[in-house]
Chain A
Amino acid sequence: MSEKTVTLAQGTEGLFIKNQRFNTTLISFNFYLPLEKQKVAANALLPFILTSCCKAYPDFSRLNYKLNKLYGARLDASTEKFGDYQLLKMSISVINDRFAIDGESLIKQSVGLLLGLIFEPSTENGAFLTEDLEREKRKAIEHIKGEFSEKRIYAKNRLIEEMYRGKVYGLGKCGTIEDVKTITGEKLYEAWENMLKTAFVRIHVIGAAMPSGLFEEISNRFSSLDRSASINPQKSRLTEAALEHREVVEHSDITQGKLCMGFSCEMSGNDNESLPMIVTNDILGGGPYSKLFSNVREKLSLCYYCSASCVRPKGLLMIESGVEAKNCSKAEAEILNQLEELKKGEISDFEFESSIKSICDSLNTYNDSLASLDTWYTLKINNPTLYSPANIAEKIKGLTKQDIIAAANGITLHTVYKLLPKEKN
């Protein structure tokens, strides 16, 4: 059964997913804005500053104290790239009222808190307060620096940056350190107003029961704003196939090299059309039955990990591995060789069936996790029907080897990024 959204205001959808197995209820606000160089850093800061304080709780420490009192209600903020859009997420999850020892209404208080954080921030004269702003800017800059420390993440980010030079998808999800430094209290206030007025908004409520009056209240909040310029997210631009691939090599003080390969895929972000890519990606570099695991790792003993991942809204496939510098070319050649095998239709029944079973088994566990359900529906905004994980599992079972081979043949190498140890003199 597919889920249905309700319209709460212009460009604002509510989705209630009834699920009675949890002791917890989750409410998430998701704002989708176009990725733009000028705005990416300020937008990215919003979920974090908004969930750190507000008019009712101007001090983050008092806010955290309140969350503790609400039986450890969890307030989460994130910013992600979703194709050519920026997704700003703010959510709260809290245990159900029946567990409260004094019979308090934990859900009602948590919802009230989240609404206050998003709609009534701690501001003065059209600007965020300097102390809050500087704190969050510092944390954002440290977060960007931190991505350099974990080389697996750094290498993947660098590959994307190189693949999408001059394109919005090449922007870092939090912008650059310089971008963050230029944010002022006024600029951030403007970004906040812009988010409320122009973003496409999706609100998820996942739990045993719909908190009474919640959608009505949200509807009133958004309807009182001028939402006439709110956006309607379109499909993102797919990655164009490169006539010839590029290679970028960098060096760092590390002991193990990182090999990251980016490919364009001919596909669409629509569920129906891009489902074969899920399986193609998985047969190539998913579970232990995959071609990369069984050949690059197990047969050649070249690495500990060699796996593929796919960003379907962008038609982007990435393969990453950690290898000795001297084995890097050998691993690269074997990865390309395995992709060629796939394109030629060399898919054993074992590989095909294992992959379908693994993907479907995993999809059928989504209903057992609030966070998985929230993420699942967050990524479904421009599909005409809101398919559930079980719906998609059924569709995947209907795919054939020919579908997988066809998808594989749309894969073209675009960029190879290598981070290698510095050569010793």
Chain B
Amino acid sequence: MKRELFQSDIGESYVKAELSSGLKIYILEKPQYNSSYAVFGTKYGSIDTCFAVNGEETTVPEGIAHFLEHKLFESEDGDAFTKYAKTGAYANAFTSFDRTCYLFSCSDKFYENLDILLSFVQSPYFTKETVEKEQGIIGQEIRMYDDSPAWRVMFNMLMAMYHNHPVRIDIAGTVDSIAQIDYELLYKCYNTFYNPANMFICIAGNVDTEKVLKQIKASVKATEPVMLERINTPEPNEIVNPYVSQKLAVAQPMFCFGFKEAIKTPERSIKSKICTALLIEILAGDASPLYKKLTTEGLINDEFSSEYFNGNGYACVIFEGESKNPQRVAEEIKAEVERLKLEGIDKKLFSAVRCSMYGNAIRLFDSVEGIAMQFIDCAMNDSGLFDDIKYLRSLTAEDVYKRLLKLDIENTVLSVIEPLEDA
């Protein structure tokens, strides 16, 4: 087992280990805390709809990663929730575009809970009957999202932005696509993506690193690595449609406005992500001139937010919120990008925003959940937990300016949810 200790001058340290099977493990001890948080995850999400194993290509129905997540809780000897019920832990799971994670949090019986987690994630049990039952439950989950304007406004934007990349499809799929899922397909996906070499375990809290590593090592099954290839249809740099709208039962318009980025490599570097986060705050954060203008003119409210949305093969800068006039908001954002390109980055604002992000990076260590979630990003991007702090200390206003130049105002999508006439 390879292992490495990472220490930071803010008084925190963690261990990163890798088993011979390729499984990555991250542990940060918080001996003064009551609680602990653990995640067992795989680099497998809704975008992995087309792949080749040992050269054999397969296309699977949309939403299957999420379906698999639901079904993995059932094992031959009962379901994981029943086992957790005996310890009192809070357990859950989530599937996003590029990952599926199983987690628990507890203040007691950590090692018993870890056993449950390690065991059920490694024990798939799918039958015809259990698959059919889940179609009803997930069908209702999909319906719930169909009615959620916040969800729709985002996916409508992604559909108008991406021609081919599967980031444009709903994470849970559709009622029709999940009807095509059967237990054999689930096993195929499981055997491909739930290989230790593609997986990670992230733990923060009141735990003993040595004991945890020993327990994981004894539990993780020796599995031959899979020759996995993710197949992506080439994605053009250009967007599909600059504007998309849908009417739903809302009382005021909602919008999602994104800049599509032309990318040469599938992944963004950690430094580039932090630099983009700084840029977004300087451009549209709550101390920016743009935020002041939009608020004063009654164009945005406290729901306004922004993010750098990126993963394997996709990257865009997104602004979303509620507005009586989404078109104006989009125009103002574009105008501000152009203004900053001409006038440069305000050094004082840069320094204040950097200070704030530095404080937030320190604040993160107050929450075992926050640390575990950050570890997931580390595992996905092969980055370190203290990278934010390191890069925030070294990035300059010049770096942010260079990053700004890559925002292309000609390659944007505005998605709007409009109220129905009679709402």
Contacts and interface: CB of A to CB of B under 8 A. Distances in A.
Contact of A149 (B33, B251, B355): B251
A164 interface: no
Interface string B71-93: 00000000001101111111100
Contact of B251 (A73, A145, A304): A145
B420 to A, nearest CB: 6
Contacts of B303: 142, 146
B362 A71 contact: yes
Contacts of B366: 21-24, 369-370
A138 interface: yes
A61 B285 CA distance: 10
B226 interface: no
A354 B86 contact: yes
A148 B249 CA distance: 8
Interface in A348-369: 350, 353-354, 357-358, 360-362, 364-365, 367-369
Contacts of A339: none
Contacts of B107: 361-362, 364-365
B287 A68 contact: yes
B98 to A, nearest CB: 23
A323 B140 contact: yes
A20 interface: yes
A304 B296 contact: no
B391 to A, nearest CB: 16
Given A20-B32, A350-B85, A65 B349 contact: yes
Interface string A55-66: 000011100110
A72 B355 contact: yes
Contacts, number: 191
Interface string B326-353: 0000000000000000000000010011
A350 B88 CA distance: 11
A287 B92 CA distance: 11
B269 interface: no
Contacts of A326: none
Interface string A297-340: 11001111100000000000000001110000000000000000
Given A142-B301, A350-B85, A21 B140 contact: no
Interface stretch (B115-123, B146-154, B259-267): B146-154
A365 B368 CA distance: 10
Nearest to A142: B301
Interface in A250-283: 252-256
Nearest to B92: A288
B298 A138 contact: yes
A23 B358 CA distance: 13
B144 interface: yes
Nearest to A48: B302
A357 B87 contact: yes
Interface in A171-212: none
A68 B353 contact: yes
Given A68-B355, A301-B137, A357 B248 contact: no
A95 B133 contact: no
Q: How large is the interface on A (under 10, 10 to 19, 20 to 34, 35 or more residues)?
A: 35 or more
Interface string B380-423: 00000000000000000000000000000000000000001001
A303 B139 CA distance: 8
Contacts of A22: 366
B359 A357 contact: no
A165 interface: no
Nearest to A19: B32
Nearest to A252: B249
A63 B302 CA distance: 15
A72 B140 contact: no
A254 B303 CA distance: 23
Q: How large is the interface on B (under 10, 10 to 19, 20 to 34, 35 or more residues)?
A: 35 or more
B252 A146 contact: yes
Contacts of B87: 357, 361
B134 to A, nearest CB: 8
B10 interface: yes
Nearest to B247: A253
A301 B420 CA distance: 32
Interface string B22-60: 000000001011110000000000000000000000000
B249 A151 contact: yes
Contact of A21 (B33, B136, B289): B33
A340 B107 CA distance: 33
A358 B85 contact: yes
Contacts of A99: 10, 359, 362
B341 to A, nearest CB: 22
B86 A95 contact: no
A357 B357 contact: no
A150 interface: yes
Contacts of A323: 140
Contacts of B222: none
B367 interface: yes
Nearest to A151: B147
Contacts of B362: 23, 71, 95, 99
A70 B358 CA distance: 10
Nearest to A358: B88
A146 B89 contact: no
B105 interface: yes
A256 B360 contact: no
A353 B138 CA distance: 29
A129 interface: no
Contacts of A67: 287, 356
Contact of A72 (B134, B322, B360, B365): B360
Contacts of A287: 81, 85, 90
Given A72-B359, A143-B301, A364-B107, A304 B141 contact: yes
B108 interface: yes
A73 B143 CA distance: 39
Contacts of A65: 287, 349, 352
A408 B287 CA distance: 51
B292 A71 contact: no
A135 interface: yes
Nearest to B105: A365
Contacts of B322: 142, 146
In the A-B complex, the 3 residue pairs with the closest CB atoms: A71-B359, A357-B88, A301-B136
18 contacts: A23-B363, A24-B366, A68-B356, A69-B356, A71-B358, A139-B301, A148-B249, A148-B250, A149-B250, A288-B85, A322-B140, A322-B143, A322-B144, A350-B85, A354-B86, A361-B87, A361-B106, A368-B33
Interface of B: 10, 30, 32-35, 81-82, 84-91, 105-108, 133-134, 136-138, 140-141, 143-144, 146-150, 248-252, 254, 285-289, 291-292, 295-296, 298, 301-303, 322, 349, 352-353, 355-360, 362-363, 365-368, 420, 423
Given A22-B366, A94-B359, A362-B107, 11 more contacts: A59-B292, A60-B295, A69-B355, A71-B355, A142-B322, A148-B250, A148-B423, A253-B420, A255-B147, A301-B134, A322-B144
Interface of A: 20-24, 59-61, 64-65, 67-73, 94-95, 99, 131, 135, 138-139, 142-143, 145-146, 148-152, 252-256, 287-289, 297-298, 301-305, 322-324, 350, 353-354, 357-358, 360-362, 364-365, 367-370
